[in-house]
Amino acid sequence: METKEFAEAFIGRLARTDFHDAGSLAAYLALPDSARSGDEATIVDLRISRVLLEALGYGSAEIDYNAGKDNLRPDFSISIRDFPGRCFIIEDKATVEHRLEAHRPQLVGYMAAFRCPRGLLVNGERVLGYDDTGPITSATLQFSISGAVRLWNGADLLAMGQTGWDALPQPDRDALAVLARRYGRVAFQGVNRLIEDLTLDKDGKLHALDGGSWHPGQTRIPITDARDAPNQLVQAVQDLIGELREDVAVQFTARQVEHEAFRDAIKRAPGSSVAADEVMIQQAEGMLALWPRALPNVRSELLERLRRAMRGDLPETEIDAVAALIRAEVSGRAGAGADALSRAAGEARAFAARYSRHVTRARAQHAAGVQTVEAFERWQAAIGTLLLAGATPGLFNAFE
């Protein structure tokens, strides 16, 4: 499937003025949230994901739609005769569900229950893709549907006066190429035949594991000597490198989005929508309130030490050290004050422990994104050091 053809069938459809009474998908999404509430089935299911599946090449008989909204099933599961099991699933959310990443556990649960290797989350604004790669489910795709529609209609400054396919920047074209290549029907059809062609010879016998039975005339796939067809070999390698470049670029963008979801999660206090930093400040001020005569600069320093200890940047024992300092300074006060300090320090330690577990869980949930971005940042820092030492800057600039 050509990427441009897929884009016209998918983005082009959503960009039409007859998408909704309001106009294109972009015009519909510009309506207030109150006017779009509860549109998962009527808009996202039937006018976005259904269009996506048709653009990917699937027929009605291959699309299992959860019209009854059974909570134990995804919104769409895709199966074709040529592929064992399900190809992939789609879980849709209403367009007002802006934190699409938050629904990843639900999608992962469906992927495990249906033994499905791939899954998509769709809310009309974006589409997120995930692969079941073993211990963790990895983000492989992040694409802004609404942004592409605005570009397609020339309604975005980045369109530079162009419309349609010509208006899409390379990152969007790469994402569409990966979406079509990973989820298009051609990616799944003929898999059994391909496996047989690779593992069996012309007589239907298994090939030798060491490759010793791969001889011209004995294989189902013709063998061509690279010396006899150098141009074809070069072209095949170039095509493969091009596909790898697209896939790596799109996957890295998806991992960045996953890392942002991790950062967003740890900004909140465990089991709450309240900012974690606010709770840390409250806990620290509760302790420092017992030393009212502390100088402003000392108070600021101790406040920061307590915050860093609760955040995990300093050992938890730092809380006890600050408590001991406060106790020494106010030792002349009544015993009730000491009891209050002990309670305040205990509450700070308890929050630090809960927050540490919260960060650990969030890191495990978004492990692929965290590991990828942190590894890239380490690599970038190392390259930056080489640049300061006079190394060639071209490689570093290419990844900025």
- Claim to verify: residue 174 and residue 321 sit in the same structural domain: no
CA distance 390 to 261: 36
What's the CATH number where 32 sits?
3.90.1570
- Claim to verify: residue 168 and residue 287 sit in the same structural domain: no
Q: Identify whether 386 is part of a domain.
A: no
**Token pair listed for 144:** 């802004």
Q: Identify whether 389 is part of a domain.
A: no
Q: Identify whether 149 is part of a domain.
A: yes
- Claim to verify: residue 67 and residue 173 sit in the same structural domain: yes
Q: Identify whether 213 is part of a domain.
A: no
Q: Identify whether 217 is part of a domain.
A: no
Looking at residues 57-73, what average pLDDT do you find? 93
**Token pair listed for 54:** 């048709």
Q: Identify whether 207 is part of a domain.
A: no
| Beta strand pairing call for 88-92 and 118-122 | parallel
Q: Name the one residue in this structure whose structure tokens are 């998908």.
A: 25
Q: How far is CA 309 from CA 115, 210, 218, 267, 297, in A?
A: 43, 57, 68, 15, 19
Contact 3, 175 (CB under 8 A): no
Contact 15, 24 (CB under 8 A): yes
- Claim to verify: residue 159 and residue 304 sit in the same structural domain: no
Domain boundary among 156, 189, 222: 189
Q: How confident is the model at residue 169 (pLDDT cuts 50, 70, 90)?
A: very high
Q: What percent of the chain has pLDDT over 90?
A: 60
Per-residue model confidence (pLDDT) at position 400: 44
- Claim to verify: residue 169 and residue 294 sit in the same structural domain: no
Q: How far is CA 219 from CA 82, 205, 210, 226, 248, in A?
A: 22, 10, 14, 17, 32
Domain boundary among 143, 163, 189: 189
Q: Bridge-partner residues for 63, per DSSP?
A: 78
Domain boundary among 189, 213, 229: 189
pLDDT digits (tens, 9 = 90+) for 217-265: 788 877 777 677 777 777 878 888 888 888 888 888 888 888 988 999 9
- Claim to verify: residue 289 and residue 171 sit in the same structural domain: no
Looking at residues 124-148, what average pLDDT do you find? 89
Per-residue model confidence (pLDDT) at position 378: 85
- Claim to verify: residue 155 and residue 304 sit in the same structural domain: no
Per-residue model confidence (pLDDT) at position 384: 63
Q: What is the domain extent for residue 82?
A: 3-189
Query: Considering Cα of 93, then 97, then 100, then 101, what sign does the dihedral take?
Result: negative
- Claim to verify: residue 280 and residue 185 sit in the same structural domain: no
pLDDT digits (tens, 9 = 90+) for 260-303: 889 999 999 998 889 999 999 999 999 999 999 899 999 999 99
Q: Identify whether 267 is part of a domain.
A: no
Kindly give the residue spans of alpha helices, DSSP state H, lying in 225-366: 230-267, 276-288, 296-311, 317-329, 335-365
Q: Identify whether 282 is part of a domain.
A: yes
E strand intervals along the chain: 63-65, 76-78, 88-92, 118-122, 126-132, 137-144
**Token pair listed for 354:** 């809960």
CA distance 35 to 24: 15
CA distance 51 to 28: 16
| Beta strand pairing call for 76-78 and 137-144 | unpaired
- Claim to verify: residue 26 and residue 154 sit in the same structural domain: yes
Phi, psi (degrees; rounded to nearest 5) at 354: -65, -40
> In 10 A of CB 366, how many CB atoms?
26
The DSSP output letter for 23 is B
Per-residue model confidence (pLDDT) at position 308: 95
Q: Bridge-partner residues for 76, per DSSP?
A: 65, 90
Q: How far is CA 373 from CA 99, 135, 360, in A?
A: 20, 19, 17
Q: How confident is the model at residue 361 (pLDDT cuts 50, 70, 90)?
A: very high
> How many structural domains comprise the chain?
2
The DSSP output letter for 49 is I
